[in-house]
Structure 1
Amino acid sequence: MPAAPPAITEGSIEANGLTFGYLAAGEGPLALCLHGFPDSAWSWRHLLPELAAAGYRAVAPFLRGYAPTAVPADGLYQPGAIASDAIALHQALGGDADAVLIGHDWGALASYAAAGHAPERWKRVVVAAVPPAATVAQAFFSYDQLQRSWYMFFFQSPLSDLAVPMDDLAFIDRLWQDWSPGFDGSTFAAQAKDCMRDPANLAAALGYYRATLGAGARSPEYDQIEAAGALPLTMPALYLHGADDGCMGAELIDDGVLTSLPAEGSRYELVPDAGHFLQVEQPEAVNRLIVDFLTA
């Protein structure tokens, strides 16, 4: 009989002044997996056992402010803060130079910054669903992309504090439906809602957008880390994007992505029949792309 896949366990750890809840599987070099919005660490449920079977200690933390991780007292949610958390988690989890970093959505933004600011900590990087800064900057001159990104601007309004939690956070269900058309993501959306149901946690999730596009609190220290996210990565990187992504249009993804991922061995892949949450929509294809890249 084939061996059972490695079990996923739950735990907590102190890093960067916060208590992080996390999911983990396996032993070996650290593979740190960062989720996005509106999501949770559970969206890595398919990948964690595969990374473990490939010889990694795969760890998926719940990002700052997403229960069960603590809400930071300083109220800082800019990408540089998440990147700082990733660097601190690398240290707290005993990571070394063989560690790898995997990020989706906000986790991708944090991964660019963490890998740019502390390249000595990461052997390889995988990023998904949000392309490098230069491509994102061009996207906001596109009418189609601005239309897809309406929610980012809506989150700057106090009205969003009232609208998003209505009807048991039905707003979150609709984003999953719009961003991954045709996919039943209700289980994953429900787990994401569990992380944001408390008003403090929801305020944190919206705070990510307010720190980036609005008047949310920012830190000069985190600004410096965040700026490194615009630098070309110096380690091999794999960029993945769903061909049917309803949040960040696939038409934005071309060879220009590689100008930010110039290291030898870097590449990008469009995943067919997948939207924004490609790691749960096409887990077999995405897992194989990631594991083959990391173990090449």
Structure 2
Amino acid sequence: MEIRTVHANGMEFAYLTMGEGPLALCLHGFPDTAHTWRHLMPALAERGYRAVAPFMRGYAPSEIPADAAYEGDALAADALALHAELGGDEAAVLIGHDWGTFPVYAVADRFRSAVSMAVPPTAALLAGFLRYEQLKRSFYVFLFQTGLAESAAAGPGFLEGLWRDWSPGYDASQDLAHVRQSIGEPANLAAAIGYYRAMLGTTPPSGRHPAAGTATTTPILYLHGVQDGCLDPELVKDAPQHLPKGSRATLVPGAGHFLHLEQPAEVNGLILDWLGPAS
């Protein structure tokens, strides 16, 4: 697996890549890195795709954006710019986990096929977000709106606790080592938290990234772990009505929030079946 860089949407992105063929763009979430795709990328390459996993904006070794833009439109614009700069065409596919799903729901129409994991479409997310049980799970979202956010997230055991709660029983030591390399510096950690501040409007939209436009009509495979401790699997019940026609929502047994790491064989199989052969 190689690491390279590309200039897209006004900033420098570092990315992991392997394989040859149509682009398979894989977008990670929080608190995670491009290394989260270490099980899926070889499977995509073997199927005939060129798997590319960028470190999202603000996650080292990608640049911290000069405009401090972390709203959904910025993430969608990144996906489109990466598609263009990496030579993506009509055969390209898009896969996102956690924050990486926001571009999937916005710009999947620019790709042949798409997969999202662990975060349902916004309408389904909002429908369950204010339920008491989900509010308890989402304490960190509200903490991240405060001035205590960076100190708390940098404190001993905080990130470890999120991984432990979100994916019970999974050994995240390798992933956490990558996370600390990527957002261990204060500026990178503040960037990662900036996604949440933009989400709830604590920081206003930059206005520098045009809106993605109307909702996608490309069918999406949506996967969610049965034991997800971050977002209640009950949200999956509302997901199908907010997904494009022809989409599918599937619960993955024995997996939590980081389902592609916990049950890689199962998740890889579901994704590859959905994407079909590279063309």
TM range, smaller chain: over 0.9
Give 1:193's aligned residue.
Answer: 180
- Is the CA contact 1:75–1:217 (under 8 Å) kept in the aligned structure 2? no
Alpha-carbon distance in structure 2 between the residues aligned to 1:14 and 1:194: 21
- Is the CA contact 2:67–2:206 (under 8 Å) kept in the aligned structure 1? no
Report the number of matched residues. Answer: 277
Give, in angstroms, the shift of residue 221 of structure 1. Answer: 4.9
Give, in angstroms, the shift of residue 19 of structure 1. Answer: 0.6
> Are 1:284 and 2:262 matched, yes or no?
no
Opposite residue 222 of structure 2, the aligned amino acid is Y
Give, in angstroms, the shift of residue 262 of structure 1. Answer: 2.9
Which shifted more, 186-195 or 197-206? 186-195
TM-score of the superposition, structure 2-length normalised? Answer: 0.96
Give, in angstroms, the shift of residue 137 of structure 1. Answer: 1.0
2:35 to 37, 42, 45: 42
- Is the CA contact 1:34–1:107 (under 8 Å) kept in the aligned structure 2? yes
Give, in angstroms, the shift of residue 104 of structure 1. Answer: 0.3
- Runs of 4+, deviation exceeding 6 Å: none
Matches within 5 A, 1:169-188: 170-188=157-175
TM-score of the superposition, structure 1-length normalised? Answer: 0.90
Opposite residue 238 of structure 1, the aligned amino acid is L
Give 1:249's aligned residue.
Answer: 232
* Percent identity for Structure 1 against Structure 2: 53
> Are 1:259 and 2:241 matched, yes or no?
yes
Alpha-carbon distance in structure 2 between the residues aligned to 1:111 and 1:192: 23
- Is the CA contact 2:2–2:18 (under 8 Å) kept in the aligned structure 1? yes
Superimposed CA distance per residue, residues 60-94 of structure 1 (whole angstroms, 9 cap, x where no aligned partner): 00000000000001000011111100000000000
Give, in angstroms, the shift of residue 59 of structure 1. Answer: 0.2
Q: C-alpha root-mean-square deviation of aligned residues, in Å?
A: 1.3
- Is the CA contact 2:90–2:112 (under 8 Å) kept in the aligned structure 1? yes
Matches within 5 A, 1:222-233: 222=209, 224-225=211-212, 228=214, 231=215, 233=216
Unaligned runs of 5+ in 1: 1-7
Give 2:124's aligned residue.
Answer: 135
Matches within 5 A, 1:264-279: 264=246, 266-279=247-260
Give, in angstroms, the shift of residue 236 of structure 1. Answer: 2.1
- Is the CA contact 1:127–1:239 (under 8 Å) kept in the aligned structure 2? yes
Give 1:16's aligned residue.
Answer: 9
> Are 1:206 and 2:188 matched, yes or no?
no
Alpha-carbon distance in structure 1 between the residues aligned to 2:198 and 2:210: 11
Give 2:207's aligned residue.
Answer: 220
Unaligned runs of 5+ in 2: none
1:84 to 77, 90, 98: 77
